Amino acid sequence: MLKVDKNIVRLIPPLSDEDIVGLKAGDKVYINGVIYSARDSAHKRMFESIKKGEELPIDIKGAVIYYMGPSPAKPGYPIGAAGPTTSGRMDSYTPLLIEHGLKGMIGKGGRSNEVVEACKKYKAVYFGATGGAGALLSKRIKSASVVAYEDLGPEAIMKLEVEDFPVIVVNDVLGNDLYKMGVEKFRIG
């Protein structure tokens, strides 16, 4: 982890426990390097592979997974619009992936108590990306290639090379939740 200034943190996966414990809900983060995209169907397959004792198609130790299924790329571009999808759809699979080394997830919306507890226990973090900004976020993806489950089409696992990919810490290792903190901050009465 490299602090740029008091307002921005830059991270380069794979992430370590030390990277994760330094993050707090509300921190602004730029991610550089390799992250992976995966959605519901890919998560289900990885979950089932772990349960069967099979090797995963990607090394999730220290990895960051972006919950995203891109639109088709225009000629000359590595990827189409690449906005986040609702994270809750992955919640039934996520604690096991975190237990097996996943350190970061990017999506939109809140997470279940089970995911938050797994983040605390195994030192992982959930980042939020801005929904509706898929075209802008795609400009931060420098290359994209399918690396597993090609038969899933846009839900296949993709390896993404990102540069200054903007996210914010929603859930940290202390169990803090930025969404709940925001509601409390502006509660009337």
CATH number at residue 133: 3.20.130.10
Give the number of domains in the chain.
1
The pTM assigned to this predicted structure is: 0.94
Does the pLDDT value for residue 187 go beyond 80? Answer: no
Integer angstrom CA distances of residue 174 from 3, 51, 118, 163:
20, 28, 11, 28
Domain span at 166: 2-185
pLDDT confidence band for 39 (50 / 70 / 90): very high
pLDDT digits (tens, 9 = 90+) for 59-106: 999 999 999 988 889 999 999 999 999 999 999 999 999 999 999 999
Taking the C-alpha atoms of residue 104 and residue 90, their distance in angstroms, rounded to an integer, is 13
pLDDT confidence band for 131 (50 / 70 / 90): confident
